[in-house]
Every structure is written in structure tokens, then in C-alpha cells.
Amino acid sequence: MKILHVEGGRNFYGGAQQLLYLLKGLSARGLENALVCPLGCELGLRAAPFAAVHELPMGGDLDVRLIARLGRVIRSVGPDLVHLHSRIGADVMGGLAARLAGVPVVHSRRVDNPEHPLVVALKYRLFDRVIAISEEIGRVKRAEGLPAAKLRCVHSAVDPTPYLARPERDWLCSEFGLPLEGPILAVVAQLIGRKGHRYLLQALPPLVARFPQLSALFFGKGALEQELRQLAARAGVAERVHFAGFRSDLPRILPCLDLLVHPALAEGLGVSLLQGASAGVPIVAFRAGGVPEVVHDGVNGLLVEPGDVDGLVQAIEAILGDPARASAMGRAGRSLVQREFSVDRMVEGNLAVYRELLAERGRL
């Protein structure tokens, strides 16, 4: 079986990591992969051992010429199936290119952002199957009119092995200039509005009053960094909040944390939550999108209603103030990831969709 994967994102964020897991897993199972990605992106370099990489100019949602460029690659590769892994033009343009080439199309939906029913009716006509990475995304798409017969759910995954490292707390404090004593919490998310950093900044003053040496690390980049810095200053917590940017060494960092906070207002599933749980870190998060599928309230973390700052304060206090409970939640999170979010399970789930579709078309 030969699969052509299309990813339009330039940065190596959660979706790109999921695709790399998939490429590696499919290759190990004897499938032949080809990958289309933007020129010079990190995914192309990392994927080279597992796929024939075709780098193309990819200009986003309005890049109509991408249809022809993708069409040429499809004709050259001759895949049994095209799997579209992102938006940013790759979904619509990729769907049109595959349709014109007469090749079956699978599209992965990774976000729970609402779409108008008319858009759903037109856009999703291009795809033979839609893989939602959480049950919540599937629920949203069905409510918007996507036929259930097209929809399948395959959870995102994480390889927990790198996150089992022994915590190096002294190193972490030295690396980011943190006090050796006191709790350390972090947010791992792009610095964009829907990730909800502002709610944690509002919650920090009473938390600092309760835990005087508390530190907060914000991992990620985004357009809101300067605005968030200003909010931290106005809240009087600028010295407690450290903007750490994008880090490639999260497996070393996460096991050192006392708590992962995820105050996102919308979330497809949350790869950073899987990473944190793999590291044995309890989680406080807003009850949004697919988050409750990863954070089981009272088991491996606590859930708060979106936008509820007082609830966020209470949940963080409850975990930081009870180390035994926090440790139990960390262990439960590790068990949950190993049981329900393994890479093998994700790869087999995608492969089952491929086989089902190709069998239906008489191509298997």
C-alpha cells in the first residue's frame, strides 16, 4: 500500500509530530509513504527516513496553484490513497487535486473550531473519510452536518518513553532562573488567544499569595507574547512568569514540573496534555473540546469550566497543596496514556481507515 501524505504547516508543532509518528509506524509495517510539505520545513528533514519527501511552495488557503503542483506529485507517486493532515490550504487544494486524479482521499481534522454548515456541505464532499482526533471533534462535525458514515475517530498519540526521565529539578531552576524552593507550573501552548494564557495570569496573584515562591513557565511562541507580558506586569506577577519560547527538550523539562495548566477555550485534544501526563505531571485544564478525553476529572487532573478564574485558582491550589494527591494523579496520567494513547494504537487506527476505504473501492 502506498500513501501520499500532505502537510501544509511549516512549524514542527503537535500535528507534525503526530504525522511523524504515523509515517514511522506505517513504514515499520511495510507501507510505502510519500510526503508533501512546505519548502525547508523541519518535518521534511525528520520524515526522510520513513517517506519520499516532496517539498513544494505552499502559500496557504488562497494558493490555487497548489492544486496543479499537488496533481503533478500525485501522478508521479501513483499512491493508492491521499491523506491530508492539515488545513492551511492543504485540505481544500489537496482534496481537489486528489479528486481530479481519481485517488481516494482521507482528511484528518485536528481542531474543534466551528465551521458553517454550508462550508461543511461543500468542503467535506471532497473527502471519502474524515478522521477526527477526538470524540468531541467528531461530535462537532456531525452537528454541523458531516455524515456519520464518513467520520472515524482515531486519537492522537504520544511516545511516553522520552518523558520517563528522572527529574532534574536543579537543572530546570538553573536553566530558567527559578528559585530552588516553591512550586513550578507551566503552560505548553502557542501564545494565541484561544489558548487562554490570560486566565492563568489573572489567577496568579492569589496563587502567589498562597505559594510565595511559585513560578510559571510559558512554553511556546505566538503573536500575543508582548500583550501577555504587559498583562503579567499589570497583574504584578511579571517576575513570576517566564516566557521560555519554543523548546525541543520538553522530555527533559516536563518531569520537573509540579503542575501543567492548560486554560484553553478550544482544543481538539491537546498533545501537550498527553506529553505532560506521560511525564507523570498532574493537569489543571478548562473543560473544552477534547480535553476531557485526556484529563479525567479527579483522576489525573482537575477540570474547570472555561473562563472560570476563581475555579482555576481553586483547582491549582487543591493540587499544589496536596503533594500526595498530585503524585497519585501523575501516576494515573501515565497509566492512561499507555492504555489509550499509544503510538501503535494511533497507527493501527489510521491503517484500519485506509484498509476500509480501499476495500470499499475494490483496491485492496
pLDDT tens profile 5-51: 999 988 887 889 999 999 999 999 999 999 999 999 999 999 999 99
- Provide the domain limits for residue 64: 2-157+342-360
* Per-residue confidence (pLDDT) for residue 364, from 0 to 100: 76
Answer yes or no: do 138 and 174 share one domain.
no
Cell of 310: 476563581
Answer yes or no: do 18 and 137 share one domain.
yes
For residue 187, the domain's CATH number is 3.40.50.2000
Answer yes or no: do 112 and 202 share one domain.
no
Answer yes or no: do 186 and 324 share one domain.
yes
Answer yes or no: do 282 and 215 share one domain.
yes
Answer yes or no: do 227 and 297 share one domain.
yes
* Per-residue confidence (pLDDT) for residue 89, from 0 to 100: 75
β strands within the chain, DSSP E: 2-6, 32-38, 52-56, 81-84, 105-109, 129-132, 151-153, 184-188, 215-219, 241-245, 259-262, 283-286, 301-304
* Per-residue confidence (pLDDT) for residue 112, from 0 to 100: 81
Answer yes or no: do 178 and 316 share one domain.
yes
pTM: 0.87
Answer yes or no: do 183 and 266 share one domain.
yes
Answer yes or no: do 178 and 150 share one domain.
no
Say how many domains are in the chain. 2
**Residues of the chain below pLDDT 50:** none
Answer yes or no: do 331 and 196 share one domain.
yes
* Per-residue confidence (pLDDT) for residue 148, from 0 to 100: 95
Answer yes or no: do 177 and 146 share one domain.
no
Q: Report d(CA 213, CA 226) in Å as an integer.
A: 24
* Per-residue confidence (pLDDT) for residue 200, from 0 to 100: 98
Q: What is the three-state SS of 221-280?
A: CCCCHHHHHHHHHHCCCHHHEEEEECCCCHHHHHHHCCEEEECCCCCCCCHHHHHHHHCC
Contact between 206 and 313 (Cβ < 8 Å): yes
Answer yes or no: do 231 and 298 share one domain.
yes
